[in-house]
Chains A and B, each alone.
Chain A
Amino acid sequence: MSEEPILQVKDVVKKFGPVTALSGVSIDVHRGEIVCFLGPSGCGKTTLLRVIGGFYSQDRGDTYLDGKLINGIPPEKRDTVMFFQNYALFPHMNVYENVTYGLKVRKYRKAEMAEKAREILTMIQLDGMEGRYPNQLSGGQQQRVALARALILNPKLLLLDEPLSNLDANLRAYMRDEIIKIREKLNLTIIFVTHDQEEAISIADKIAVMREGDIEQIGTPLHIYRYPASIYVADFLGSANFLDAEVINTDDKGNSEINTNIGKMKINLTMNKFKPGDRGKAILRPENIKVSLNEPADKSSKGNVLEAEILKGTYLGATIMYEVKIDNEVLTVEIRNPKENELLAPGDQVYLQIPENIHLIEEDESKNTASQ
């Protein structure tokens, strides 16, 4: 990615009265990427999207679109288009008028307008609906009209505000594929906002996890899930067990040993640099832990093997969630594709296999305190 990013956000601060919504956010978005702002409500993700779209003007910091400074430029003069959560279709205009609104404002000739509209409506499978009014359309159709209205302007940046949150499960899957397809067809750059981690992981090339007005971590879904930078990120994407850990020894390949509340463990420290004596948090994903009633035969090849007691098992269909106890520590373990009749009872003594690719993060006081 040596190419200049299409969007650069540098140190943007936005306050609403006493509330700081964005506290110095920076991010680069490259041409053709789908980037997702992920976070709980109140983390500033929608504010950031609206700053990029020109609906809010930042108090400090710069935004560049395609190399040009766009601070203070109103939405109508920006080459970005927003897809609103509630679609914001004009109720007094029919589908055709809604879709061609932006072209009409730009004084396109009628024939050209009709041609472009036909093209986009065919692509989005709304041909034949031109004369309908928004209140005569289903939710999914309304959403597609809103999408067509945005796409027809061929924006440099498409901004989607919670695009899937108003839809039921079937439509969600359909729309998700649609967004990915459209990106491929039009080579669009898309930024979208969501609080739903599954939505983020399944659509985005890059996820920016936001917290309290700043981006906590940015990276590919795979990377963020595998190597969360903080407890907050690990908790927000999936669930995790956290163990206080201290590094005992480590070699130059990263093969190390750590001490935790549940005993010594072998781990691979590939991502972060640790010295013996450093303290941190070990992150154990529930689905990475294996449970067996019998002691595994070849212990050394199975990572760390620990004895534990089942406290509680919850059957969830595709998975079973166990709470297990080791010493005084309670861990959550998730068993995928459980075999039939395999629900373990409270009190059962089991063996846990914990792989060596445990992720260890530095303990950062300021970031760990708030993440309950």
Chain B
Amino acid sequence: MFQSGELTLKRQKDSIRHLARNPLQFSLALIIGLSLVLFIVVPIIYVLARSLGAAEGVITLEYFQNFFDRSYYYRALSNSLILAFTVTSIVVTLCFMYAYLVARMHSRLIATILRSIAMVPLLAPPFIFSISLITLGGRRGLISQLLASLFGIEFSIYGWTGVILAQIIGLFPLGFMMLENVLRSMDLNLEEASSDMGAGQWKTLLGITIPLVMPGILKAGLLVFIKSIADFATPMVIGGGLPFLATDAYLLVVGQHNMEMAAVLATFLVLPTMIIFFIQNYVLTDKTRTTISGQSGVTSQIKMHRSIRGIFTVSSILSAILIVLAFGVIFWSAFVVIPGVNNTFTLDHFSTRTGWSAMGTSLQIAAISAFIVAFLGVIQAYLNVRMKIYGSRIMEYIALFGMGVPGTVVGIGYILAFNQPPLHLTGTMTIIIISMVLRHLGVGLEAGISKLHQIGINMEEASWDMGASKVLTFFRVVLPLMGSSFMYGFIYTFMCAMTSISAAIFLVYPGTTLGAVYILQVAEQGAISRAAAMALVLISIVALCLFTLTKLISRTHLARM
């Protein structure tokens, strides 16, 4: 990994000379690099500067002083941290048990069903589950009424219970995906060897499996943590007025136009991301242990110990029920007049022109952003891996960092940075697309990089050898071979762009709104059924597009690569 200084210098010189000779590559690299800096780094700098009083032209800690003086904001910080810790530990625990069960299960069918259930929340904006929870446990909710009539208990989901539950459901897919991945890639012979040596299954689980997948568990935990802290919509809908960093940052901007305090809150939001990003890239990578080589090829047939299976199954069934229930309730609320009060079938909730046009806008923006991310991802990956351009590593880091920055911070940063010349972009669709692209470029890039490493350079060399230029080779050989990573980048960005809300809500302008933003707005006004109906539309659109795209991939040659 580490090159000597001389080598690095030589490489720099080489790549500079190389770039000078390839104006196309040079300009591409320059454009991507500049965009990354301009749309990821600069907005964050604006936020930090504003929190330190940049608007008045002085550097002051006054706003931070205010933050700590007022217990309300101080509590927002501690609430956000408590929430993130709680949700992360619950999600990681539940997901580990769920993923372990799915990964080690003998029945393929049940595993597929369980996996699908765990992944469905991806189809919807995460705050959607607050709507279901309100229908169930709100003041007039089904469960609340039941509890009141049976035991005379007054139950309300608003507040901690609601926020935690909603975030667990919303973040479940993220934790599950990562943990299933690491559990599957683990060499099962290691577990078998442990039991062969006489260790019981609990001992094997605690002494072999968990230590070996620990890097994966930590990584999943960090991601869930970032997402939980950055989520401003869930506390807004179901938080019952409790202060949280992201939510209050939003309210400060939209309600009071207090940019300074919003910037302070945003600073506290972005700090954990920075710390976690550092941990992930420097601490975790060094500690990951490589498993000793060897193909095992055999599937484990060892029966899970009764106590492990019992506990894991019960917890996983509960998780699955929670997810299915949350989705079922959205479905049901969308089609009845007032859920639980007047259960007559109706389609009224679907008749909203604003809602439908918002969906259309979303679709447009998501498709455009997804295409740009997929394409730029391939190009940047190519420049990174094959051209070995100086600074490509930094560009990669910025792109990855951009994915982790809370949307609220990006939103505030964009408002601060781009609402005046020279770049007056607020109030346009362009800036929404830019925010979507830059926040997901990392995915396209990583997919491209791993694909390129997998392809190997031989095929390109063969193409040059037969007389094709580099540009021609890129379009005729590299691009087709990278089809699968292109599609991956596209699908991921599309899904995120359809469902994400945090940055977009700052950037929508009068007359134009996005699907997810519209749903949040009506939910906030208490029109739960309308929100549910439009959420259903959004989920259907995402599911349909996903279905078509995956079908398209498996039909074409892309599936085989």
What is A's interface to B at a CB cutoff of 8 Å?
46, 50, 53-57, 74-77, 80-82, 84-92, 101-102, 105-106, 133-135, 142, 149, 153, 166
Decide: B296 and A75 in contact? CB cutoff 8 A: no
Known: A55-B301, A92-B212. A135 touches B197 (CB 8 A): no
Decide: A88 and B198 in contact? CB cutoff 8 A: no
Nearest Cβ on chain B to A16's Cβ, whole angstroms = 9
Nearest Cβ on chain A to B17's Cβ, whole angstroms = 38
Decide: A149 and B197 in contact? CB cutoff 8 A: yes
Cβ of B1 < 8 Å from any Cβ of A? Answer: no
> Nearest B residue to A159 by beta-carbon distance?
B196
Decide: A87 and B292 in contact? CB cutoff 8 A: yes
For B195, what are the chain A residues with a Cβ–Cβ distance below 8 Å? 74-76
For B201, what are the chain A residues with a Cβ–Cβ distance below 8 Å? 76
Decide: A88 and B192 in contact? CB cutoff 8 A: yes
B187 touches which of A75, A88, A106 (Cβ 8 Å): A88
- Docked complex Cα distance between A202 and B333 (Å): 74
For B200, what are the chain A residues with a Cβ–Cβ distance below 8 Å? 76, 105
Decide: A55 and B293 in contact? CB cutoff 8 A: no
Q: B504-518: contact bitstring with A at CB < 8 Å (1 yes, 0 no)?
A: 000000000000000
Cβ of B290 < 8 Å from any Cβ of A? Answer: yes
- Docked complex Cα distance between A101 and B296 (Å): 21
Decide: B295 and A86 in contact? CB cutoff 8 A: yes
Known: A55-B301, A74-B302. A88 touches B197 (CB 8 A): no
- Docked complex Cα distance between A85 and B187 (Å): 12
Decide: A76 and B292 in contact? CB cutoff 8 A: no
B193 touches which of A46, A84, A133 (Cβ 8 Å): A84
Q: In chain B between 51 and 68, which residues have their CB closer than 8 angstroms to a CB of chain A? A: none
For B193, what are the chain A residues with a Cβ–Cβ distance below 8 Å? 82, 84, 88, 90, 149
- Docked complex Cα distance between A263 and B195 (Å): 61
Decide: B298 and A75 in contact? CB cutoff 8 A: no
Nearest Cβ on chain A to B277's Cβ, whole angstroms = 25
- Docked complex Cα distance between A367 and B298 (Å): 29
Known: A46-B298, A75-B302, A86-B296. A91 touches B290 (CB 8 A): yes
Cβ of B241 < 8 Å from any Cβ of A? Answer: no
> Nearest A residue to B214 by beta-carbon distance?
A92
Decide: B203 and A86 in contact? CB cutoff 8 A: no
Central interface residue in B187, B193, B301, B303, by most chain A CB within 10 Å: B193
Cβ of B294 < 8 Å from any Cβ of A? Answer: yes
For B189, what are the chain A residues with a Cβ–Cβ distance below 8 Å? 84-86, 88
- Docked complex Cα distance between A95 and B535 (Å): 56
Central interface residue in A75, A77, A102, by most chain B CB within 10 Å: A75
Nearest Cβ on chain B to A306's Cβ, whole angstroms = 48
Q: B165-206: contact bitstring with A at CB < 8 Å (1 yes, 0 no)?
A: 000000000000000000000010110111111111101000
Cβ of B112 < 8 Å from any Cβ of A? Answer: no
Cβ of B291 < 8 Å from any Cβ of A? Answer: yes
Nearest Cβ on chain B to A14's Cβ, whole angstroms = 9
Known: A92-B289, A105-B199. A86 touches B301 (CB 8 A): no
Decide: A82 and B192 in contact? CB cutoff 8 A: yes
Nearest Cβ on chain B to A220's Cβ, whole angstroms = 29
Decide: A55 and B300 in contact? CB cutoff 8 A: yes
Q: What count of chain B residues pass the 8 Å CB interface test?
A: 30
Nearest Cβ on chain B to A190's Cβ, whole angstroms = 15
DSSP class of B's interface residues: helix, strand, loop or mixed?
loop
Decide: B196 and A135 in contact? CB cutoff 8 A: no
Q: B276-315: contact bitstring with A at CB < 8 Å (1 yes, 0 no)?
A: 0000000000000111111110101111000000000000
Given A90-B190, A91-B289, A91-B290; 19 other pairs, CB 8 A cutoff = A55-B298, A55-B300, A55-B301, A56-B301, A57-B303, A75-B195, A75-B196, A75-B302, A76-B200, A82-B192, A86-B295, A87-B292, A88-B189, A90-B194, A90-B208, A102-B197, A105-B197, A105-B203, A142-B292
Nearest Cβ on chain B to A18's Cβ, whole angstroms = 14
B294 touches which of A55, A56, A166 (Cβ 8 Å): A166
For B293, what are the chain A residues with a Cβ–Cβ distance below 8 Å? 86
Known: A76-B200, A166-B294. A101 touches B194 (CB 8 A): yes
Decide: A53 and B196 in contact? CB cutoff 8 A: yes
A-B contacts, 26 listed (Cβ < 8 Å): A50-B301, A55-B298, A74-B303, A75-B195, A75-B302, A76-B199, A77-B198, A81-B197, A82-B196, A84-B294, A84-B296, A85-B189, A85-B294, A86-B187, A86-B293, A88-B193, A88-B296, A90-B212, A91-B290, A101-B197, A105-B199, A134-B292, A135-B289, A149-B193, A149-B197, A166-B294
Decide: A91 and B199 in contact? CB cutoff 8 A: no
Decide: A86 and B292 in contact? CB cutoff 8 A: yes
Cβ of B211 < 8 Å from any Cβ of A? Answer: yes
- Docked complex Cα distance between A205 and B193 (Å): 26
Q: In chain B between 79 and 98, which residues have their CB closer than 8 angstroms to a CB of chain A? A: none
Decide: B301 and A57 in contact? CB cutoff 8 A: yes
B292 touches which of A46, A80, A89, A149 (Cβ 8 Å): A89
For A76, what are the chain B residues with a Cβ–Cβ distance below 8 Å? 195-201
- Docked complex Cα distance between A90 and B290 (Å): 10
> Nearest B residue to A153 by beta-carbon distance?
B197
A-B pairs with lowest CB-CB distance, top 9: A86-B294, A102-B197, A88-B189, A88-B193, A76-B195, A105-B199, A75-B196, A105-B198, A91-B289
- Docked complex Cα distance between A50 and B188 (Å): 14
Nearest Cβ on chain A to B132's Cβ, whole angstroms = 39
Central interface residue in B197, B203, B293, B295, by most chain A CB within 10 Å: B197
- Docked complex Cα distance between A97 and B296 (Å): 23
For A106, what are the chain B residues with a Cβ–Cβ distance below 8 Å? 198
Known: A75-B195, A76-B200, A101-B197. A91 touches B294 (CB 8 A): no
For B192, what are the chain A residues with a Cβ–Cβ distance below 8 Å? 55, 75, 82, 84, 88
For A55, what are the chain B residues with a Cβ–Cβ distance below 8 Å? 192, 196, 298, 300-302
- Docked complex Cα distance between A80 and B187 (Å): 21
- Docked complex Cα distance between A51 and B450 (Å): 39
For A57, what are the chain B residues with a Cβ–Cβ distance below 8 Å? 301, 303
- Docked complex Cα distance between A23 and B300 (Å): 20
> Nearest A residue to B290 by beta-carbon distance?
A135
> Nearest A residue to B200 by beta-carbon distance?
A76
For A153, what are the chain B residues with a Cβ–Cβ distance below 8 Å? 197-198
Decide: A87 and B294 in contact? CB cutoff 8 A: yes
Nearest Cβ on chain A to B211's Cβ, whole angstroms = 5
Nearest Cβ on chain B to A205's Cβ, whole angstroms = 24
Central interface residue in B199, B211, B290, by most chain A CB within 10 Å: B199
- Docked complex Cα distance between A56 and B192 (Å): 11
Nearest Cβ on chain B to A193's Cβ, whole angstroms = 12
- Docked complex Cα distance between A75 and B302 (Å): 9
